[in-house]
Structure 1
Amino acid sequence: MKQYLITGYDFTDAGALDRRMAVRPHHLDKGAEMRKTGNYIFGGAILNNEGKMIGSVMVMQFETEEELEAWKMDEPYITQGIWESVDVKPFKVAPTS
């Protein structure tokens, strides 16, 4: 499988954090679903200096580019306008042993 580093930065308007928190349960559910299929490796929130979420980093893996694109079309933080920008780069998780 091809692995990817996905970095999403939230919109910065006054309501951005409230929107993120409203959509977050759906995003986490999607992550749990992707973990079951083996596509989700790990991820977490990017925080600002005050400790508030302003974006996300995820490491995902997919067999094909089409699967990656299908995920992007179904990811709540993308479809619900939480991430203002999304950067996807090829990535390789280092072996743990």
Structure 2
Amino acid sequence: MQYVIVARDAPSALERRLAARGTHMEGIRARKQVGEIVDGGAILDEDGHMVGSIVMCEFPDRASLDAYLADEIYAREKIWDDIQIYPFRRVDWSALMGQTV
């Protein structure tokens, strides 16, 4: 099942976010390679500072997603303060655009 994670950072979390970013990106890279992470990026404030994240992901079930979050440093270290999860169905762009893959 596909999910979208919308995670807002805790107030004043930017320093902790930057300190944990290397570990976060290593985990994202590994999960992207096995197809669990589809896309994502930082939510920015008006000044361009990172204040949260959006992650599009795919896991066999909610328990697998919860296991990912238990391992995700931004969640584990409470950098992400408000985490919302939505089931999601990604557009099949090749079908929509009439292309064959």
TM-score, normalising length: structure 2: 0.90
Local SS of the residue matching 1:50:
coil
Matches within 5 A, 1:53-64: 53-64=50-61
Gaps of 5+ in 1: none
Q: Distance in 2 between matches of 1:96 and 1:61?
A: 17
1:93 and 1:53 map into 2 onto residues whose CA distance is 25
Could you say which residue in structure 2 is the equivalent of 1:4? 3
Moved >6 Å (runs of 4+): none
Which consecutive residues of structure 2, in runs of 5 or more, have no partner in the other structure? 95-101
Match of 2:73 among 66, 72, 76: 76
Larger mean CA deviation between 53-62 and 66-75 belongs to: 66-75
Q: May I ask how many residue pairs the two structures share in their alignment?
A: 94
CA distance in 1, matches of 2:72, 2:49: 21
TM-score normalised by the chain length of structure 1: 0.93
3-state DSSP of counterpart to 2:40: strand
Q: Determine whether 1:46 maps to 2:36.
A: no
Distance 1:55 1:68 in 2: 18
Whole-angstrom CA distance in 2 between matches of 1:4 and 1:22: 27
Give the share of equivalent positions with the same residue, in percent: 34
Look up the equivalent residue of 1:9 and give its one-letter code. Answer: R
